[in-house]
Amino acid sequence: MARGLAKAAQLAGDRDWWRGAVIYQIYPRSFQDTNGDGIGDLKGITQRLDHVAGLGADAVWISPFFTSPMKDYGYDVADYRDVDPMFGTLADFDALVVRAHDLGLRVMIDLVLSHSSDQHPWFIESRADRGNPRADWYVWADPKPDGTPPNNWLSIFGGSAWTWDARRMQYYLHNFLASQPDLDFHCPAVQAELLDTARFWLDRGVDGFRLDTINFYFADKLLRDNPPLPAERRNDSIAPAVNPYNWQEHIHSKNQPENIDFLRKLRAVMEPYGAAAVGEVGDAQRGLEIMGQYTSGGDLMQMCYAFEFLSKDRLTAARVAETFARLNAAAPEGWPCWAFSNHDVMRHASRWGLSGAEIRAYATLLMCLRGSVCLYQGEELGLTEADLAFEDLQDPYGIEFWPEFKGRDGCRTPMVWSRDNRNGGFSEGKPWLPVPAEHLEKAVSAVGADPDGLIAHYRRVIALRHAHPALSKGAQEDMVAEGGVIRLVRRHEGEAIFVAVNLAGTPAKIAGPGAGWLDIGAALGGAGQSGDGVVALAPWQSCLLRRTT
């Protein structure tokens, strides 16, 4: 415990470090392999942290590396307090944390608290009979009189959310795979154990957590049926359109009010360490509202993200303005964390069909919005979604719904470090997923030193965000969509920054903020303000102006 608290004391001067932070997501299986087995590992992450620090990121979020049978590639945890041997050892993790801190990077790890693996010792004991000490650690229920599941809840991965267990002659709940049984948060012992798990990693020096499916922790204690969702309210931001999960309004299987009290307990555990958390809110209808609930006030989570900017629909100026209007109405004091890509969705370069200039425009916008930011590995290279053959798929989600939904493997292919190696410098062995040939020309060795390249743009716009507290921590005002242009003003302690980004393929002219503003966006290829107060924007061009008061 002394180590974790010592680190907290060292960082105590900036307990607000998370507010406006740029967090770089690392998917361990696909970042860097050091032992030739084709799977990335913790030593590989440590080896490549200089790249992340060189971008200017404030923290890394490392997806699960815990002991796991890997049915859902680490999101099915069999031991919350150890490293799966394919990724290394606890000593390797400790070395990673030390190196990250030496580089000025904080470390956030992915805690999967809503469910475990069915191979976790807790579940093995729980399913043995109805009278063991952990009998109530998971959500168990008797069948209906006709033997069918206790209610109509559906799994995100397809089919019923209930699986029959012959040992207990009961059903158990799983919102995801049948091999991912849901823990019962109504059980005080479960809460206590999970809070102690958080302490374990904080004591090892981690700086915070990404909380997987944060709104799934509690299920309705009465196990009431979910009502149907009208067709006009359905969307596929959480589950693919071919999944009937979208046909229910999930008011009982998740989003329960008891969650607030548990989040307060978790925040109390984190506070002495100066740690922060970002929660993943998985809800297609109420994501922004729940984000606000979970981040409002100083005793809940610091940040949450919903799926508005991870959807398949192109992010237009109008949709940006509409999203913030809804967020401000639902949670004016809440703190969002925005991302365009992650390990669960098609890469946004492909999802939105972006050119290099368009990727730059969206990167600039992302760094200027109120909230914190997550970047997904390879985003800074402009990596596109890999088109994999069915026989190369690993993701059970894609295998289940192929070919209408191809799963998540296309965004999880290995990071490309070198174009002189058919595996992109990722591994000396056969990678667990193939490296697309078209990714090699985007490798770090190929584009990293280009002063006009995409990596350079990310470095500049991140540096600009750090140089101006108004962009990272400030209030956001006057957001308006004018045709294809989104414009806004950020303010903080006497500094104001005017931002306009043209998210359209046609030129645009808008009224600028007036006299007394200095151009700070020239290094990004941005437009200035003319003498008559007009800002003329080329397609995908931005304008950033600064004034002090």
What are the catalytic residues? Answer: 212, 280
Instruction: Select from 148, 84, 160 the least CA-distant residue to 117.
Output: 84
Q: How far apart are CA 15 and CA 473, in angstroms?
A: 13
* Cα–Cα separations (whole angstroms), residue 20 to 17, 337, 380, 488: 8, 8, 18, 16
DSSP character at residue 108: E
- Going by C-alpha positions, the residue among 268, 273, 262 that lies closest to residue 203 is 273
Q: How many other CB atoms are there within 10 angstroms of residue 231's CB atom?
A: 8
- Residue 488, token pair as written in the block: 């806004």
Residues 6+ apart with CB under 8 A from 477: 488, 489, 490, 491
* Structure token digits, residue 143: 């069948």
C-beta of residue 490 within 8 angstroms of C-beta of residue 471:
yes
Residues paired with 336 in a beta bridge = 304
String of DSSP letters for 323-362: HHHHHHHH-TT--BEE-S--TTS--HHHHTT--HHHHHHH
CA distance linking residue 343 with residue 383, whole number of Å: 13
Q: Cα(438)–Cα(459) distance, rounded to whole angstroms?
A: 23
Whole-angstrom CA distances from 523 to 390, 534, 542 are: 44, 20, 11
The rounded distance, in Å, linking the Cα atoms of 392 and 423 is 15
Those residues with Cβ within 8 angstroms of residue 366's Cβ, 6 or more apart along the chain or in another chain: 338, 340, 373
The tokens of 540 are what? 């995908």
Q: Where do runs of H (alpha helix) occur along 468-514? A: 469-473
**Distance from the first to the final alpha carbon of the chain:** 45
Query: Which residue do the tokens 């699960």 mark?
Result: 64
Instruction: Report the distance separating Cα 374 and Cα 370, nearest Å.
Output: 13
Task: Tally Cβ neighbours within 10 Å of residue 536.
Answer: 16
Comparing CA positions, the residue from 378, 383, 403 lying closest to residue 391 is 403
What's the rounded Cα separation, in Å, for the pair 100 and 62?
12
